[in-house]
Amino acid sequence: MWNYGNQAFVEEIWPEAADIESSVYFALMLTANALCVAYAPVLADGAVVPDSWKLAEIFQARHTWSQFNGGNRDEIGADGYAVPVYPLVFAARDLLRPKSSPLSRLR
């Protein structure tokens, strides 16, 4: 996992992660990492994992948790206020493989 041992950083981005049972949290992060690794370009040996990839892993884990925990109800917020969330899978993909303009290839 790209965020292994960095739970404080994960909880800054995704505060609800602190309330998830540790075995479930670990499974979510492993699953998110597997999906992100499968989609991301290959890193050179010894290269540092970009911070954007670490964010993508968190976004994917949060998306998986919201679908698993809330079903079709795309809301997060245990305080009585509903905050709609959108599938962040596209955001994770964009962090792993930023889109480029087709015009930049015309040079």
Residue 42 belongs to domain spanning: 7-98
Residue 65 lies in a domain: yes
Residue 107 lies in a domain: no
Residue 49 lies in a domain: yes
Q: Which residues contact 2 (CB under 8 A, 6 or more apart)?
A: 33, 36, 49, 53, 54, 57
Residue 44 lies in a domain: yes
Q: What is the pTM of this model?
A: 0.70
Whether the per-residue pLDDT at 79 is higher than 80: the answer is: no
pLDDT digits (tens, 9 = 90+) for 10-55: 999 999 999 999 999 999 999 999 989 888 999 999 999 999 999 9
Spatial separation of the C-alpha atoms in residues 80 and 23, rounded to whole Å: 27
If pLDDT is split at 50, 70 and 90, which confidence band does 85 have?
low
**Residue 68 CB: number of other CB atoms within 10 A?**
11
Distance of CA 24 to the CA centre of its chain: 15
- How many structural domains comprise the chain? 1
Residue 36 lies in a domain: yes
Of 66, 62, 45, nearest to 54 by C-alpha is 62
Residue 106 lies in a domain: no
Phi, psi of 97 (to 5 degrees): -135, 85
**Average predicted confidence (pLDDT) for the chain:** 81
Give residue 16's identity as a one-letter amino acid code: E
DSSP state of 41: P
Considering only residues 26 and 106, tell me which one the structure prediction assigns the higher pLDDT. Answer: 26
Residue 1 lies in a domain: no
